[in-house]
């Protein structure tokens, strides 16, 4: 497979208010990150407002949803927000879509929306992409799909520009390689970008991240998890190159808690 050049994103939420959020956006741009990615959750500021503010505070930084959860909007509403962000950011928005976590069932109910079956949530992603393409006209909002299951991988390969390999935190390298092949097969001859999200840099898992992923650093290391990267800068760079060679992953995002620790890799590998 042809190697794509590396680019990097940082995943952060605007939970600490405007000044801190804008500082994060400016720092991400200063450190050379390609994209600032914002999660979608009713307990956090909406990505639409947060990303518009981040783009306005920077000049080249791209912004993206990570990811719009299909149970929290109708497909048409999600497309409206996405196209609007593309317009107001001058084409710097990347639309990330996913089916949402099971915990979002209650959040969907709060909005008066159905959580839906797995297939219904996938259908909503497909419909959102179709609506965005129509709204964009001659433009093009890049679409990323977080693909965790076989049906999601097939849909993502067929319709997305970027596909995040979204297996469990203990998914093996061999399994991930198989997922990547499924996506490429579904893409046919289309040019797609494969992505991976890293939760931990180093050998310490912050308590709130451990609560989210459900395992400690020792378990991640024991299982050779792809959600952690550690060692010297040389060792981590070699590991990212290995992942690109074996999986085709060239777009790597990292949790905002490690924006500084990961920065040397961004400087070293971006565009290479």
Q: The CATH number of the domain where 258 resides is what?
A: 3.20.20.30
Is residue 150 domain-resident?
yes
Average pLDDT (20-47) is 97
Cα 218 to Cα 216: distance, rounded to the nearest angstrom:
6
115 φ/ψ angles, rounded to the nearest 5 degrees:
-70, -40
Give the predicted TM-score (pTM) of the model.
Answer: 0.96
Is residue 130 domain-resident?
yes
Q: pLDDT band at 2, cuts 50/70/90? A: confident
Is residue 65 domain-resident?
yes
Is residue 148 domain-resident?
yes
Total domain count, the chain? 1
Residues of the chain with pLDDT > 90, as a percent, come to 94
Q: Look at residues 209, 189, 211 and name the one whose alpha carbon lies nearest to residue 201.
A: 209
pLDDT at 215 over 80: yes
C-alpha pair distances (Å), 91 with each of 59, 177, 270 = 12, 32, 21
Q: Which domain holds residue 231?
A: 7-269
Mean of all residue pLDDT scores within the chain: 96
Q: pLDDT band at 32, cuts 50/70/90? A: very high
* Residues listed for the chain: 272
Q: pLDDT band at 17, cuts 50/70/90? A: confident
What is the predicted pLDDT for the residue at 230? 97
Is residue 2 domain-resident?
no
Residues of the chain with pLDDT > 70, as a percent, come to 100
Which residues contact residue 12 at a Cβ distance below 8 angstroms, ignoring those fewer than 6 apart?
Answer: 21, 24, 28, 36, 37, 38, 255, 256, 259
Average pLDDT (195-208) is 94
Is residue 1 domain-resident?
no
What is the predicted pLDDT for the residue at 167? 84
Q: pLDDT band at 221, cuts 50/70/90? A: very high
CB 95 within 8 A of CB 144: yes
Which residues contact residue 236 at a Cβ distance below 8 angstroms, ignoring those fewer than 6 apart?
Answer: 201, 229, 230, 265
CB 37 within 8 A of CB 65: yes
């Amino acid at each position: 497979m042809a190697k794509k050049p590396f680019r990097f994103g940082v995943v952060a939420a605007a939970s600490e208010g405007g000044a801190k959020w804008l500082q994060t956006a400016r720092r991400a741009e200063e450190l050379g990150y390609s994209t600032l990615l914002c999660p979608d959750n009713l307990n956090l500021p909406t990505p639409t407002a947060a990303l518009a503010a981040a783009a306005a505070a920077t000049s080249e930084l791209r912004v993206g949803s990570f990811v719009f959860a299909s149970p929290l909007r109708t497909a048409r509403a999600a497309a409206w927000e996405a196209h609007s962000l593309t317009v107001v950011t001058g084409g710097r928005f990347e639309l990330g879509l996913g089916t949402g976590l099971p915990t979002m069932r209650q959040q969907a109910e709060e909005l008066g929306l159905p959580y839906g079956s797995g297939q219904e949530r996938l259908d909503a992603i497909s419909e959102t992409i179709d609506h965005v393409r129509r709204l964009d006209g001659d433009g093009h909002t890049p679409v990323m799909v977080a693909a965790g299951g076989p049906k999601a991988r097939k849909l993502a390969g067929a319709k997305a520009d970027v596909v995040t390999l979204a297996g469990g935190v203990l998914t093996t390298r061999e399994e991930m390689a198989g997922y990547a092949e499924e996506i490429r097969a579904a893409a046919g001859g289309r040019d797609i970008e494969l992505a991976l999200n890293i939760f931990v840099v180093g050998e310490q898992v912050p308590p709130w991240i451990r609560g989210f992923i459900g395992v400690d650093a020792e378990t991640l290391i024991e299982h050779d998890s792809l959600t952690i990267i550690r060692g010297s800068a040389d060792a981590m760079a070699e590991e990212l190159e290995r992942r690109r060679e074996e999986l085709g992953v060239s777009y790597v995002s990292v949790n905002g808690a490690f924006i500084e620790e990961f920065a040397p890799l961004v400087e070293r590998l971006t565009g290479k």
